[in-house]
Amino acid sequence: MINRQILTLDEFTIQQYRKIPNATGELSSLLRDIGLAGKRINVEVNKAGLVDILGDEGTTNVQGEDVKKLDVFSNNQMVGVLQHGISCAGIGSEEMDDVVIFNDEISNDSKYVVMFDPLDGSSNIDTNASIGTIFGIYRRVTSPGQPASEADFLQAGVKQVAAGYIIYGSSTMLVYATRRGVNGFTLDPSIGEFCLSHPDIKIPDNGKIYSVNHGNFFQYEAPVKKYIDICQNKTKENGGPYTQRYIGSMVADMHRSLIKGGIFMYPGTTDKPGGKLRLMYECNPFAFIVEVAGGMASNGKQRILDIVPKKLHDRTPVFIGSTKMVEECLSYWKESQ
């Protein structure tokens, strides 16, 4: 028996846009396109252990087929669905040096551009850990009717109209946020549809899990070291004890933080003072989702969503998650100034 109380992603987004006067449904169709790419990526991620899809691009697998690395495959799927769809004027991808402006009649009339990381955490595939696709959707600043331009992509994260991720984990989920809320959909493999399973997600105001690469501890700046020290010394009396969890796959670490509460940090290091994670493809989408869910995201000095990118592939340190934890972390940055 199929439970008809459960909405599919499509049904849900259509219901949402019907509530907005003058909405055209373009955002719904964009989310459906991204959901389709997610389903295709999911199939390949699931069988990654069976077929030699992990090999380098250009090599040949046991069936004699050309192997595309999973991240190249994922990138092609994302570009493909967005180019064939009717709602996207162009894309920027972590996998590509430059933006792709679709420049055909339908795409030029579209009002959105999409920035994405097609397969984040792909170094975890060999060990079967969860990985994901991350995306941020912006309304273009140039007028529809002409090709999109670079200015459409180099916008601060606060300009996102929606952002989301797909996590390929013990189950596959698509979570997306608009200003109206954050909702999570679990893929029901029997019907191949994402079904609403986590309506109106709110991140707990406080948590007990901190997530950071401890291996870099001695490369962190003083306020970060101090905060980590505080996390390790929390007791029952002051909200602790805390526990540390770090998968090394941002989608998985952030999904846990969103559901259970916590703080995720990727600080600058002496080797990489600007941090490792990309502003446009990783930090902005998660900052948008977390803020809509009631949390906070900062680079230590500034709200992530207010950072105006200089270049497409800019990186930033990030401290993101439950409001109380991020505020406490930031208090050590303020102290140091």
Stretch (H or E) spanning 187: strand 181-188
Among 248, 303, 313, 331, binds ligand AHM (CB under 6 A): 248
Task: Show contacts with ligand AHM in window 265-324 (CB under 6 A).
Answer: 266, 276
C-alpha 157: how far from its chain's center? 12
213 binds, among Mg ion, ligand AHM, none (CB under 5 to 8 A by kind): ligand AHM
Considering only residues 160-179, where is the footprint of ligand AHM by CB under 6 A? none
Stretch that binds ligand AHM, among 36-44, 161-169, 231-239, 248-256 (CB under 6 A): 248-256
Contact 307, 155 (CB under 8 A): no
Among 93, 122, 160, 316, binds ligand AHM (CB under 6 A): 122
Check if the beta carbon of residue 247 is closer than 8 Å to that of residue 253.
yes
Among residues 30 and 70, whose Cβ is nearest to ligand AHM? 70
Distance CA 19, CA 193 (A): 23
Task: Report yes or no: 181 and 236 within 8 Å, Cβ to Cβ.
Answer: no
Helix (H) or strand (E) holding 144: none
Closest CA to 225 of 306, 309, 300: 300
Q: Which amino acid, one-letter code, is at 17?
A: Y
Task: Tell me the window of 20-28, 31-39, 116-124, 225-233 that interacts with ligand AHM (CB under 6 A).
Answer: 116-124
Task: Please check whether residue 252 is in contact with residue 121, taking contact to mean a CB–CB distance below 8 angstroms.
Answer: yes
Looking only at residues 87 through 126 of this chain, which bind Mg ion when binding is defined by CB under 5 A?
117, 120
User: Which residues, at least 6 apart from 55, have a Cβ–Cβ distance to it below 8 Å?
Assistant: 61, 67, 69
Applying CB under 6 A, which of residues 249, 284, 299, 323 lies at the interface with ligand AHM?
Answer: 249
- How many residues interact with Mg ion (rule CB under 5 A)? 2
Tokens representing 124?
């975890």
Contact between 253 and Mg ion (CB under 5 A)? no
Q: How far is the CB of 290 from Mg ion (least distance, A)?
A: 17
For position 219 contacting ligand AHM by CB under 6 A, the verdict is no
CB of 216 to ligand AHM, least distance (A): 7
Residue 140 amino acid letter: R
Q: Smallest distance from the beta carbon of 120 to Mg ion, in angstroms? A: 4
- φ/ψ of 211, rounded to 5, equals -130, 110
**Quick one: which of 116, 162, 159, 158 has its CA closest to 141?**
159
Residues touching ligand AHM, count (CB under 6 A): 11
Q: Which does 276 bind (CB under 5 to 8 A by kind): Mg ion, ligand AHM, none?
A: ligand AHM
Answer for which of 26, 33, 120, 152 binds ligand AHM (CB under 6 A) is 120
Stretch that binds ligand AHM, among 31-39, 108-116, 121-129, 192-200 (CB under 6 A): 121-129
Closest residue to ligand AHM, based on beta-carbon distance: 250
Mark 76-115 with x for binding to ligand AHM (rule: CB under 6 A) and - for no binding. ----------------------------------------
By CB under 6 A, is residue 136 in contact with ligand AHM? no
Rounded Cα distance, 69 and 54, in Å: 6
By the rule CB under 5 A, 291 interacts with Mg ion: no
Q: Which residues of 132-146 are buried (b: 16+ CB within 10 A; e: fewer)?
A: bbbbbbbbbebeeee
Distance in angstroms between the alpha carbons of the first and the last residue of the chain? 61
CA 313, CA 327: separation in Å to the nearest integer? Answer: 27
Q: Which is nearer to Mg ion, 120 or 291 (CB)?
A: 120
Q: Which of 140, 315 has the CB closer to ligand AHM?
A: 315
Omega prior to 285 cis, within 30 of 0: no
Residues that bind Mg ion (CB under 5 A): 117, 120
Residues that bind ligand AHM (CB under 6 A): 117, 120-123, 213, 248-250, 266, 276
